Structure 1
């Protein structure tokens, strides 16, 4: 049976399927289940049927694409993104001296502050429609200047710090500096607009409101300003490195200091007057710090220690020390008796943020600093260390100022000690208690 079937299959393969097979080349295969039977298959196929190599190639490519790939789950991706960013435990806790409840150090006690005070606090957060560049405190209020044309005055004698006056159209292009006399009566203020004009403001004793007294017309690119304690002298800087001292009673310039070739000095970014009006200090873009004697009308010290732009200089209350800081991220301290660099205040940070503002406390024991990373730091001058750090905002801080001590406590848990205020890119005023946390 097998012998008869074999020839018939071989002979009839091409005759049975003449349209499918037309090749004369044939290949014979033995069938394993039928001994003696061979299968003849012609090589070469018409009618567009694919050849064996092309079939194998398609199968091989499909097998490769079908291999499963290693996939990362969403949970693992999220864990990698959040590595090192998890919430950290709050360890700086203490007991509130008023109610005894646990609270964060150097913060107002949430148990003592009433819901009404919290409501006022939320309402005052957006004090200006633009960045707040400067603050100027008085014994009972604080003035704030921003990129908008108005100056705002907030009361510091009430726990809600309400807005008590708005000075519209103070500077058409906005205001970048405003100052009052440190330790003074708080009756005179000076502001500088982006147009280069300086305006002198007086506080009316009858109405208890600020009003424009007189204006110094633009005379170059005026930048920073400072007032003496007796509110009689004003120091200002210009973009070409000059420092001018004005007699506000006579309304004239009494001193002009050059820090380089005429009209070619380094940009003076900051200035301060000693409380007695004897010395003027200036910080420059080149990193230089100069101290001038106003009585002698000459430079007495050219201080070294900072190689980067100096954005803030401040005399201590007794004029024994001068603090300077800027893009270097450190606070340099100088002795005013001999003009020596006596030390630096810094934190162990590889890349410290630019320091934009400095202010001494009334006792001279602490220095307040604000930086571009939004952190407020309180420095103990005697210990040479940072004793408090506040980072309530991620935006830049442009100005930080101590508030004068009040005769009475502003509210529960708020003692009679000094407080301070910070402002910047958040467009809000933030008030803090003193560094001791009492």
Structure 2
């Protein structure tokens, strides 16, 4: 009986091994060594003879460690970042910043970002917003989606007044309206498919309906339409093409009345000029200006039907041109990151507007306010700048988003209070890759 107890204990140790390790076949010598090591603390003078040729279902130690090595690595504690290091990163501007510009929507009572349309009250575009067109009472927006959306700017919450579905199948990249107190009856839109449409407001329903499609198919060999501009009396439409031409249409007669050539140049296609990326009509209807990919800026006299100025000053693509309300100045900007100002009486380059910095961002949009005192610019880095033209300085910079801005527009001035506790003042809107509309108002409005 004295020998029975050790044998039973040895048997229990041997039966424990298969449960501890998964079954596998390995050498007899290794099995004998492992069994001796396990039984040594229990039986110092006990030897077990394992016959040669018998395989035990025991794995090797490297195979055991290989299975648990990944778990051991995962269990290693990570280095904890100290509060001081977190604070240093926050002070350096590398930490996530809290969104503090929040307010309560006066319509639904929900929380929303300041200067943004409430997502509960107004639906925004599902794609990048490429163009804006203001009227005395509405703001029209277009994007990479097929719909055009019209917001009511007479209400403090800017509600969605109308949605024109399936306006352009491939999306819309340019809109144009006339600027004036009695305008807003007509607007034009250009789709990525090259289709140009004229929309007119129904006097009964106050909704916009399709009036006319410009016959651009016949001009397929002369370049696709890109930028557009509408005259102040809503009777004429100027269109630029990818080969540098500018067409002027009479909307009442529904016919093309003028075509301006810019000649051969870099990026010319089919014998035309450089890609015409921007166009504008003066409010008196006398001049037409175009900006091109090769940096050229051209001004045409509509009465004489010819080019009057070929302006220099920008060597990079021009993405925006805009006449001042009195037609005394022309502003042009683009990839150079500066705004060039030209005198329209003599066609001279009179100055530049630029912000300090080694790498200025592309300027994608320009717009003058109704008095001509301030110029609005939108940039690819998401910044909106308000320029005092008389002083030649930037008086305000807004950077609500890091996404690209494709369009900025002044809203027509209002004669009534903008909202509860708000006075009268000028407003503008910015839109782009953030897919939302950002409205700003004059902080010192009276």
2 CA distance for matches of 1:300 and 1:172?
38
1 CA distance for matches of 2:224 and 2:397?
35
The answer for the alignment partner of 1:203 in structure 2 is 201
The answer for the alignment partner of 2:259 in structure 1 is 256
SS at match of 1:399: strand
**Contact 1:368–1:400 under 8 Å retained in 2:** yes
The answer for the alignment partner of 2:128 in structure 1 is 131
> Structure 2: which 5+ runs fail to align?
1-77, 265-269
The answer for the alignment partner of 1:171 in structure 2 is 168
Return the match for 2:370 from 350, 362, 372. 362
> Structure 1: which 5+ runs fail to align?
1-70, 90-103
TM-score for both structures, normalised by structure 2: 0.74
Matched, 1:333 2:341: yes
**Contact 2:107–2:121 under 8 Å retained in 1:** no
Q: Evaluate the alpha carbon distance shift between residue 242 and residue 124 of structure 1 in structure 2; reply closer, same or farther with a 3 A threshold.
A: farther
1 CA distance for matches of 2:122 and 2:398?
17
**Contact 1:124–1:429 under 8 Å retained in 2:** no
Return the match for 1:221 from 216, 221, 224. 224
Structure possessing the higher radius of gyration over alpha carbons: 1
Q: Evaluate the alpha carbon distance shift between residue 321 and residue 124 of structure 1 in structure 2; reply closer, same or farther with a 3 A threshold.
A: farther
Return the match for 1:157 from 151, 154, 166. 154
Deviations 1:111-132 (A, max 9, x none): 9967737566233575100000
2 CA distance for matches of 1:397 and 1:155?
22
The alignment of Structure 1 onto Structure 2 pairs a total of residues equal to 352
What does residue range 201-350 of structure 1 map to in structure 2 within 5 Å? 201-218=199-216, 219=219, 220-261=223-264, 263-350=271-358
Q: How far 1:80 sits from its partner (Å)?
A: 7.3
Deviations 1:251-274 (A, max 9, x none): 111111111137331000000000
What does residue range 363-382 of structure 1 map to in structure 2 within 5 Å? 363-382=371-390
**Aligned residues: CA RMSD:** 2.6
Q: Evaluate the alpha carbon distance shift between residue 112 and residue 128 of structure 1 in structure 2; reply closer, same or farther with a 3 A threshold.
A: closer
Matched, 1:142 2:139: yes
The answer for the alignment partner of 1:53 in structure 2 is none
Deviations 1:294-345 (A, max 9, x none): 1101000011111111000000001000000101111111100000111111
**Contact 2:299–2:307 under 8 Å retained in 1:** yes
SS at match of 2:120: helix
The answer for the alignment partner of 2:58 in structure 1 is none
1 CA distance for matches of 2:394 and 2:95?
23
Deviations 1:44-66 (A, max 9, x none): xxxxxxxxxxxxxxxxxxxxxxx
Q: How far 1:275 sits from its partner (Å)?
A: 0.7
Q: Evaluate the alpha carbon distance shift between residue 203 and residue 125 of structure 1 in structure 2; reply closer, same or farther with a 3 A threshold.
A: closer
SS at match of 2:109: helix
**Contact 1:421–1:432 under 8 Å retained in 2:** yes
Q: How far 1:409 sits from its partner (Å)?
A: 1.1
